[in-house]
């Protein structure tokens, strides 16, 4: 029976869940996978937390050198989060001939080329299933199950915090601020929620997923990013009346003109499978040229779901003597040959607050026509105090044309405010 010794860097929510699975299912893994996995040590500042999980004093490492010099450790699991000291610790583990399993999407998205280069040099494994979509096995599907396909698109709800907030706003009419407070109370959102609500977390994940999907290095700088902090409950309500559901989506498309990669609030039709993915759940929809549509759904975060993905990588590393690396040019120069589409096309939902007067509608719709934007729907809502709201849905339009139109509208006397601008995917 194959044996593997594991060290865990960080025993927080995810690290604790990983330790729990490895220890409680040790005999199960022997029976079903033919591997004997032992947690040899852990690096954790909070000694009481480590002891509460059941670690003895001898298992609690004082520093990273103690971990990487331990001959019983074959696999180092990094679940610390952040870039430093995680990057330094992972590099030390790789340089010491240890395979690494990580759930750190920020570290991986920003330093994947450097980490993989060291893993190749030392002929060790670098595994990252848990960096994207929690317990959903998306990485291995892209790496090992989609070889027969050129992937045309990958689109999904890849951040549970924002999905919970938007679900709360849609179902209960809560404001963004109210929904965020509830998410923080339940532990879905951090005290400082910026990484989630401003779309950084989803951007890191889309960078990783789209790189694998399209076989080219997609850096986070290539991803258009827009968070949900500007989303208003009234826009969600108006969208619902028109048959739309609002989600923060990570969208990657491999088109003839180039690769589109973007993260932003998006209206989708109510009958889209992603529209029914609520609360903290995640889902990813993939389109391959041979297989067609595939959708993966599950919990995108949490101690045991994410721990499940980490343990999957640990078992894979323990059972395979040969390691696999990127099939594309995963280097600092890797993305230079790839064309990116920044002026992408989509439908747009716009909400304008205008003067409630005769002739106003024809005056501002003329601006749309001058910029080559055709209008699919117009809905006027009676307002108060001499104002009215106008909701517009355009046909497919270029991002640049919408930007130019909004700039022109903002300078018109008849326009009191631009209440909302949301892209639509159908």
Distance CA 91, CA 8 (A): 15
Contact 351, 364 (CB under 8 A): no
| C-alpha distances out from residue 322 to 125, 319, 353, Å | 8, 9, 61
379 token code pair: 């809905």
Q: Omega into 423 within 30° of 0, i.e. cis?
A: no
How many Cα atoms occupy the beta-carbon half-sphere of 91 within 13 Å?
A: 13
Report which of 57, 80, 76 is spatially closest to residue 67, judged by C-alpha positions: 76
| C-alpha distances out from residue 333 to 17, 216, 324, Å | 37, 11, 21
How many Cα atoms occupy the beta-carbon half-sphere of 129 within 13 Å?
A: 23
Residue 28 DSSP SS3: helix
Distance CA 361, CA 391 (A): 11
Residue with tokens 């001898």: 58
Percentages of the chain per state (helix, strand, coil), in multiples of 5: 40, 30, 30
Number of H helices, E strands in the chain: 15, 17
325 token code pair: 């690396």
Set 105, 205, 253, 416: catalytic member = 205
297 token code pair: 């759904």
Distance CA 250, CA 248 (A): 7
Distance CA 36, CA 29 (A): 7
Q: What is the DSSP letter of 258?
A: E
Residue 79 DSSP SS3: coil
Concerning whether 205 is annotated as a catalytic residue, the answer is yes
Residue with tokens 């330093």: 111
Task: Measure the CA angle with vertex 31, ends 25 and 34; round to 5°.
Answer: 100
Catalytic residues: 205
């Amino acid at each position: 029976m194959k044996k593997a010794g594991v060290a865990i860097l960080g025993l927080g929510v995810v690290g604790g869940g990983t330790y729990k699975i490895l220890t409680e299912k040790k005999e199960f893994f022997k029976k079903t996978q033919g591997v004997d996995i032992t947690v040899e040590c852990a690096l954790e500042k909070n000694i009481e937390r480590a002891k509460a999980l059941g670690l003895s004093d001898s298992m609690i490492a004082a520093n990273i050198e103690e971990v990487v010099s331990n001959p019983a450790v074959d696999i180092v699991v990094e679940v610390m989060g952040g870039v430093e000291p995680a990057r330094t610790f992972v590099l030390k583990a790789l340089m010491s001939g240890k395979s690494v399993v990580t759930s750190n999407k920020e570290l991986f998205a920003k330093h994947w080329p450097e980490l993989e280069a060291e893993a190749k040099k030392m002929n060790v494994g670098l595994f990252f299933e848990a960096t994207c979509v929690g317990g959903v096995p998306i990485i291995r599907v892209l790496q090992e199950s989609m070889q027969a396909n050129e992937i045309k698109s990958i689109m999904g709800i890849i951040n549970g915090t924002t999905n919970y907030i938007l679900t709360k706003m849609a179902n209960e009419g809560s404001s963004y601020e109210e929904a965020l407070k509830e998410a923080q109370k339940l532990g879905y959102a951090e005290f400082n929620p910026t990484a989630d609500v401003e779309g950084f977390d989803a951007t890191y994940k889309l960078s990783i997923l789209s790189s694998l999907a399209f076989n080219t290095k997609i850096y986070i700088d290539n991803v258009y990013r827009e968070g949900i902090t500007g989303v208003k409950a009234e826009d969600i309500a108006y969208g619902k009346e028109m048959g739309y559901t609002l989600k923060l989506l990570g969208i990657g498309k491999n088109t003839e003109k180039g690769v589109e990669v973007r993260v932003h609030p998006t209206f989708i039709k109510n009958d889209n499978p992603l529209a029914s993915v609520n609360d903290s759940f995640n889902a990813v929809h993939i389109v391959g040229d041979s297989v067609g549509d595939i959708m993966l759904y599950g919990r995108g975060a949490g101690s045991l779901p994410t721990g499940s993905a980490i343990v999957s990588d640990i078992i894979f590393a323990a059972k395979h003597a040969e390691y696999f690396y990127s099939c594309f040019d995963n280097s600092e120069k890797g993305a230079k040959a790839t064309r990116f589409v920044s002026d992408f096309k989509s439908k747009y939902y716009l909400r304008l607050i205008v003067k409630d007067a005769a002739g106003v509608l024809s005056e501002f719709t003329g601006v749309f026509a001058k910029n080559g934007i055709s209008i699919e729907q117009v809905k006027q809502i009676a307002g108060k105090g001499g104002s009215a709201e106008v909701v517009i849905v355009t046909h497919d339009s270029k991002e640049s044309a919408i930007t130019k139109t909004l700039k022109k509208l903002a300078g018109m006397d008849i326009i009191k405010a631009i209440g909302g601008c949301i892209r639509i995917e159908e």
